[in-house]
Chain A
Amino acid sequence: GQQLNQSPQSMFIQEGEDVSMNCTSSSIFNTWLWYKQDPGEGPVLLIALYKAGELTSNGRLTAQFGITRKDSFLNISASIPSDVGIYFCAGPYAGNMLTFGGGTRLMVKP
């Protein structure tokens, strides 16, 4: 399947900081999905984007569907400790299959 390049791979956050991560692809996607995975659990859908240029919010999370349809961004404002986890971007291809980015691991600054 297509590859999604997600960056950064990991980052440390301090409570109250804003966080940004992005996902790029060499292929066009018609849908972008953002998931969060906590340790020992399956990914949970945070935001779904369906139209190029679309900006969607879910509480402190905001995601954008890039105008070229080859990228997407996720921002978390005023981070809190429970934001720790791994965030994945994903895009469907060839029907009902998802390809995932490598993930961005959010950790708390000691």
Chain B
Amino acid sequence: KAGVTQTPRYLIKTRGQQVTLSCSPISGHRSVSWYQQTPGQGLQFLFEYFSETQRNKGNFPGRFSGRQFSNSRSEMNVSTLELGDSALYLCASSTGEGFYYGYTFGSGTRLTVV
């Protein structure tokens, strides 16, 4: 059974640019959640998509957005990048119907903004 796939693994962008990250969940999982991990703030929830709809949203500015496709693959976009957006972005896959098995995380995309 394939795990959660995130692409790309590494990305370097310049301040002011925008970036799109991709996440393919485990087959059959309908929920994809995104997290930002930084040394200072730890793991913070960005948003969750379930059946193509944003179901929950964390406390991040509107520059952070996402979407989910009919095959459950999800993308997140960050516009007008700032140096502080440098982080490991993790997506997590789940059935979305109860928390009995937690999430399965991908390996993440390491974004560096210069």
Q: Enumerate chain A interface residues (CB-CB to B < 8 A).
A: 1, 31, 33, 35, 40-45, 48, 50, 88, 90, 92, 94-103
- A92 touching B45 by the CB < 8 A rule? no
Q: State in angstroms the CA–CA spacing of A43 and B42 once bound together.
A: 12
The 8 Å CB contact of A45, one of B45, B50, B104, B108, is: B104
Contact of B99 among A31, A35, A44 (CB under 8 A): A31
Chain B interface: which size bin? 20 to 34
Minimal beta-carbon separation of B7 from chain A (angstroms): 13
Are B103 and A48 in contact (CB-based, < 8 A)? no
Given A45-B102, A100-B42, check contact A1 B58 (CB 8 Å).
Answer: yes
Q: Are B33 and A92 in contact (CB under 8 A)?
A: no
The CA-CA distance from A45 to B58 in the complex, in Å, is 22
- Kindly state the separation between the CA atoms of A71 and B94 in the bound complex, as whole angstroms: 24
Interface pair A43/B55, CB less than 8 Å apart: no
Asked if B94 contacts A96 (CB within 8 A), the reply is: yes
